[in-house]
Amino acid sequence: MESEMIMSTAQIEKAFEVWPQVEPTLRVPHNDREYRQLVKLLDRLVDEVGENENHPLASLMEVLGVLIEKYEDENIAELA
């Protein structure tokens, strides 16, 4: 099972190849503008993916959710 999670050399090379196009969109947000861009992208993905956990973009949606949640936890004050 563990070996299935390890990327092959070809997969890593492909990731290196496409990362420059992906990185501006898929990054840890460090300011409000980057945070809002991620939220907008997540909204688009929710419209596309919906509740379909088998959709090819479902894991991307999950990653964006984690990045957004981390930013909110660190930067957005709780309403008290």
pLDDT tens for residues 53-72? 999 999 999 999 999 999 99
Q: Is residue 21 part of a domain?
A: yes
Instruction: Return the structure tokens found at 51.
Output: 């509740």
Our count of domains for the chain comes to: 1
What is the pLDDT, as a whole number, of residue 33?
Answer: 94
The burial class, CB within 10 Å (0-12 / 13-18 / 19+), for 38 is buried
pLDDT for the residue numbered 78: 65
Half-sphere exposure (Cβ direction) of 43: Cα atoms closer than 13 Å: 6
In a domain, 80, yes or no: no
pLDDT, tens digit, 9 for 90 and up, residues 29-41: 999 999 999 999 9
What angle do helix axes 58-75 and 32-49 make, rounded to 10 degrees? Answer: 150
Indicate whether 54 belongs to any domain: yes
Domain containing 12 equals 2-75
The pLDDT confidence band at residue 1, using thresholds 50, 70 and 90, is very low
